[in-house]
Amino acid sequence: MTLIRSLILSVLLAGFVFSTPAAAQTDIFADDPLIVAVYENRTDKVNELIVRQHPMARTDTDGRTAMIWGAIQGSYDSLVLMLDAGARTNLVDDVGNSALYHAAEQGHVEVVNLLLSHSAPVDQENRDGRTPLMAAARAGHAEITSALLAAGAETDRSDFTGRTVLDIAREGRSRQVVQILEKAGAR
């Protein structure tokens, strides 16, 4: 009986020891007030944190900054405050996705245009070689596809599997996006 009790205690302690650091790391989203404020688009809190010079490049456990979370959520007003305070648009998360990539994928037209007006890199590739244009095309966002093309997004790039933006668009949700890309000379 003592051997079984020892084994159970060992397993419980091992689980506690190995799970504690991971649990502590996942709390950074709740612990970083700027990420939370931008995620919730609470401009009063965002402004307060900017005035207090809270670090804008701090990340959660997935490498996502407040700027990236704002792009995912479409927190336009909070992003305006951050960009006016000098937040960088070229930071990426752990898989290489920028704020522009996330905004394009999520269909946040106003956020895409805002980021482009603050010189967000239009052709910044993630680890899979995909660009914001590819994200917009895959999701079927015609207006964003047009905005990215107008900003100079390249149509001749391919991801690491060899698929072009037109290939990705054809697999996507919108014939309109395919037509926009074909008109822009995508192959």
The residue type at 53: Q
CA distance 61 to 112: 24
Please tell me the CATH superfamily of domain 26-88, with its number.
Answer: Ankyrin repeat-containing domain (1.25.40.20)
pLDDT band at 184 (very low <50, low <70, confident <90, very high): very high
The residue type at 172: G
Residue 172 is predicted with a pLDDT of 86
Tokens of 150: 């107008």
Residue owning tokens 């650091």: 21
Can you tell me whether residue 61 is helix, strand or coil? coil
Q: Where are the domains of the chain?
A: 26-88, 109-187
pTM of the model as a whole = 0.84
Which of residues 21 and 53 earns the better pLDDT score? 53
Tokens of 153: 């997004």
pLDDT band at 142 (very low <50, low <70, confident <90, very high): very high
CATH no. of 109-187: 1.25.40.20
